[in-house]
Structure formats: C-alpha cells, structure tokens
Structure 1
Amino acid sequence: MKQATIPHFGLYGESSGIDDPDFFHIEDIASRSSDLGWKISPHRHAQLFQILILKSGQAHVQLDEQQQTLQGAWAIIVPAGVVHGFCFAPDTDGRVISIAESLLEDAYQEKAAMYIKPLLSQALHIDFNGHRNLFSELWPLIQQLENEASRMREGRALMSEYLIKAILLLLHRQHRHDKSSAASRAYNHHALSLKELIENHYREHWSSHQYADALGTSISRLNRMSKTTFNQSVLDLIHDRLLLEAKRRLIYTARSVEEISYDLGFKDPGYFSRFFKRSAGLPPGKFRALSNQPTAT
C-alpha cells in the first residue's frame, strides 16, 4: 500500500533523525537486511549520504525510477534525497556506510573537493569487477573504518573522517575508469553550483536567467557549460528535476495529481498535467497506473 509521503529515515527503519553533524555509521549488509528477508523497501534520507560496498553476491538496486541488478564487486552511491531500495541475494557480503552530509562540508574547502563533490551530487553504480587490484586497496579501508566505529579511542572522529575521504577518493578513481563517467570528468565549479541551485529552487520555478544571475554569469555562457557538461540546456535540467520529483511522488505516495502539482509549485494542476505529458509522454494518472511497482517488503 502506498504511503502519504516517501518514507524518510535516519537509518533505515529508525524513525529518529540524525542530529550529530559528525555522524557516521557502518554496518554489514546482512545485519539489517537478513531479518527483513534481504529486502529494503524504497525510502530516502534527508541529510545522510550513503555508500554501499558489495564484495560478493547480488543486489537488485532501485535508485529513483531506475532499477538494475548488480553481481560481484560494486560500489553504490546514494546522495541525500534519492529514493532507494534493495533486494539482496541471501549471504551477500558487503557494507553500508552512512555519513552525515555536514561531516563532508570541510572537504568542500579542501583540495579534495574536486574529487569528492561530484560523487555527492548523483546516484552512481561503480563497477569493481575486473578491477580487483583497486578493490583490494578499498576493502582494507572499509575494514579499518569498521574497526574505528566499533571502539572508542582518542582521535576516533578524525581518523574516521580521513578514512571516509580516502574511500571516496578511491571511488572517484574507479569511477573515472568507467566509460560512462565522461560527463562527471567535465564537472566544474559552475556545473556543481548549478545542480545545487536547481535542487534548492526547482519548486520555485526559477527561470534560466535567475540561475545565471545567481552564478554571476550570462545565460548563454551557462547554457554552453550545461550542454558541455550535462548534454542538456539549463531549462532541460530544471524540467528534468521537476519531472523526477513528480514521478517519485506518483510512484511512492498516495497524494493526488492535484496535490502533487501544488507541492511542486504549479499554480494550475491542468498545466502540471500538460507539462508531465509533454515531458514523460503520457498523463500523470496513466503513468501512475502503468508504474504500479510493487515496493520491496
């Protein structure tokens, strides 16, 4: 049965939020999922960034409306706000690392920002199959982070922060080897800032000119950068973000089309329906009926 809103958790199944700005948590995949039939229902985290490291086994992964089955060694990046769910094969071996976004804020001011920040901005699958040498460098860092989390020692928070950054840097290296990472290699400061601004203001229906003004550049320059980096215009990015959120709410909530249209800043539900049909190829009501995706339970 669909819920009124997409479930938000601190950690999955735990209703309490995360107030500690230095919070991180690491656990074996089996420790939470095995008691739930190896299934984690679709949900999202408001202020937690997650990394799933699969060492062996299989996982059916749902990130927003995209679904993929992964086998073997993978890393899965889940930024805050992304709807995600998993169905693991029994005895899948791996770890889940949950990190408060605020813990990584210092990294944005460091040299590491150019490597780490792109990983925080989009959901990713990073394939380590065929790259066992790099995975053999990654796994000891995971184990050391797990060890730090399990013991109270002097400098625990600082050591954990260093280990998390080292893990993210290794993930960045492997992501660059992937042919699908060409767009991420072209990221620059304005591209990342544009994505952040869209995330913060897409419900306000900012125009392309407003984004250009906020970034201190011209609309033509911003569009050129956007097309080079994302292969889309600024307006396309704005519309895609609105469409993604509309699809999320149609699939995962029981709110009416009219309610969703107002939630997303549309003043006229009829205009929202026309926008959705033009963008998705079918009306929102039909999209919801056809999706009819059974959530993992």
Structure 2
Amino acid sequence: MKKANIPHFGLYGESSWINNPEFFHIEDIESRSSNLGWKINPHRHTQLFQILILKSGEAKVQLDEQQHKLQGAWAIIVPAGVVHGFRFAPDTDGRVISIAEPLVEEAYQEKAANFIKPLLSQPCYINFNGHRNLFSELWPLIQQLENESARIREGRALMSEYLIKAILLLLHRQRISGVTSISNKAEGSHAQHLKELIEQNYRQHWSSDQYAQALGTSTSRLNRVSKRAFNQSILDLAHDRLLIEAKRSLIYTARSVEEISYDLGFKDPGYFSRFFKRSAGIPPGKFRALSNQPSI
C-alpha cells in the first residue's frame, strides 16, 4: 500500500457507513481482525472517533508515524482523521467502539464538555495496568453498551449515549491521573484549555501572547503552567502540533512540500523547510523518502 493512498473507511474494510449523527458501533477485536491475520492495515476515518479497549493480550499500534507495543489493559483514543493500524497477538481480548463525531460533540454544550473535549483532539494511550479497580468499573459499561447495540428496545439510542459519555468520563479520569501531576485545579483547567486552543489555531501561528490573552492570563504565567503540565513552553507545544501535521501530510498525502507549507499557514515554503529541518533534524523531502517503508 502506498502511503499517499491511505484509505478512508467508515468501519475498517467497509467503503460506506450510515450518515447518522447518532451512529455508534461496538465489536470485539477478534470478530474483525482474526480473519485478517490479526492485522489492521493503516487507514483513517473522516467522521468517526474510535476507542479501543484492550482487556488482555498484546497489540502493536501505529498512530500516525509513531508506533508502540502495548500489553495488558489499555485504552487507545483515535480521533477522526488520525492514521492508525494494528497488529494484535492472537486471542487478544478487547472491544472497538466507533462513534459519529456529532454524537460526541453534542457534549460540548453540556457539563461534560471539560471532561470529554480533551479526548477528541489528540490520539493517546491510557494505561490501566496496575489500575484494575478502575478497569473493573469500565468493563461493565462496555458490556452494557454491547447489549444495547445488540437489541432493539425503547430508549436504546439515549441509553447508548449515556453509556458512551460514562465511558469517556472514566477514560478522562484515568488519563488525568496518569499524565498530569498538576495539583492546582485552575492551573489544570488552563493547561487543558491551552491544548484545545492550540488545536484550533496552530495553522494561524498564534503567538504566546495571543494564547495568554485568549485564556485571560499573562504569558509568563501560562508558560509556567505549560511547563509544569507538559514540560514544554507554549510555543514548543504549538510547534510540535505543526510538526505532527507536517509529518502526517508528508507521509500520507501526495501533496508537494510547497502545498503542505501553505496549508499549514507558512507564507514562504523555504521557511517551512527550515522550520521542519530544525524541528525534525532532516529536510521534509528526506523525511518523506525515509518514511516510505512498510508499516507494522
């Protein structure tokens, strides 16, 4: 498979899906992957947000150009548009939940927004090994969602929506406990809102001052929060996000370096090339050539 032609799917291997904002789908990993040699080739979903819950077994996971090997109990968050592929060890036990983005985005208008929105912007891994008590709370919700999916009865869509939100809230709790040590609640909120603003504005090349103004705080304070939460300055975070998108485009599209530079908000392709070489260590053209190798 040429990486310039990474396919878009509704569900993996299916060329279409019902364009329904209430759509969700849940299946066990074995049902789709066992007949494919336990391998799911790199692909992406345009309008589907996915959660993979691994209960046991082993998986080699590719999210964009990054690869990780996971064992035991994990949750894998795959936002829409992120290229992903998997190779599972035989008899890996787990579930894949596919959710139409509008179904999750409705939560933006609710009290759940601060908990759910952070999961939608970036792919991530959530480790439940050593946290079996919380996983024992999560797994029955997964099983109940399976039951709702398998039966047609009154209130099915509403019950499924509540269960999906409960699952996302539990994933948020575990993610926060695993990736941040911020003790101040206000600082934690600023850190999360900063990540969301970067996701919305990184193509506009906002300055540190613009992010601080949008959050109603000073640049120096927001930089301190960013370094405590992410061990990076505001600009480092924004530049990392630009670099990730640049790498995605170089690996998974056939667009020229010039086209990619303009798409990412650079007015001068030469400056984009210098930015990329400074950040990645090699020019964009060489990165593309080196990345043209088999995926997991």
Structure 1 runs (4+) greater than 6 angstroms displaced: 183-187
Read off the aligned partner of 2:260 and give its amino acid letter: I
Q: Does 1:162 align with 2:162?
A: yes
Read off the aligned partner of 2:14 and give its amino acid letter: E
Q: Does 1:139 align with 2:139?
A: yes
Identity %: 80
Read off the aligned partner of 1:44 and give its amino acid letter: R
Read off the aligned partner of 1:182 and give its amino acid letter: S
Question: Mind listing any 5+ residue stretches in structure 1 that lack a counterpart?
Answer: none
Q: Residue 108 and residue 183 in structure 1: after superposition, are their counterparts in 2 closer, same or farther (change >3 A)?
A: farther
- Give the conservation status (yes or no) of the 8 Å contact 2:258–2:269: yes
Question: Mind listing any 5+ residue stretches in structure 2 that lack a counterpart?
Answer: none
TM-score (norm 2): 0.87
Higher mean C-alpha displacement, 272-281 vs 221-230: 221-230
Structure 1 partner of 2:195: 195
Q: For residues 1-297 of structure 1, what are the structure 2 equivalents within 5 Å?
A: 1-4=1-4, 6-16=6-16, 19-178=19-178, 180-182=179-181, 188-296=188-296
Q: Number of aligned pairs?
A: 295
> Which whole-Å CA distance do the structure 1 matches of 2:257 and 2:10 have between them?
28
TM-score (norm 1): 0.86
Residue 177 of structure 1: CA displacement? 4.3
Residue 124 of structure 1: CA displacement? 2.3
Residue 282 of structure 1: CA displacement? 1.4
Residue 168 of structure 1: CA displacement? 2.0
1:193-233 Cα distance to aligned partner (Å, 9 max, x none): 33333223322333334434444444444434333333322
Q: Residue 15 and residue 205 in structure 1: after superposition, are their counterparts in 2 closer, same or farther (change >3 A)?
A: farther
- Give the conservation status (yes or no) of the 8 Å contact 2:182–2:188: no
Q: Residue 253 and residue 165 in structure 1: after superposition, are their counterparts in 2 closer, same or farther (change >3 A)?
A: same
Residue 18 of structure 1: CA displacement? 5.8
Residue 96 of structure 1: CA displacement? 0.2
Read off the aligned partner of 1:93 and give its amino acid letter: D
1:18-44 Cα distance to aligned partner (Å, 9 max, x none): 632222111111222223222122222
Residue 87 of structure 1: CA displacement? 0.8
> Which whole-Å CA distance do the structure 1 matches of 2:218 and 2:174 have between them?
35
Read off the aligned partner of 2:164 and give its amino acid letter: I
SS at match of 2:11: coil
Q: Residue 46 and residue 222 in structure 1: after superposition, are their counterparts in 2 closer, same or farther (change >3 A)?
A: farther
Read off the aligned partner of 1:49 and give its amino acid letter: F
- Give the conservation status (yes or no) of the 8 Å contact 2:29–2:94: yes
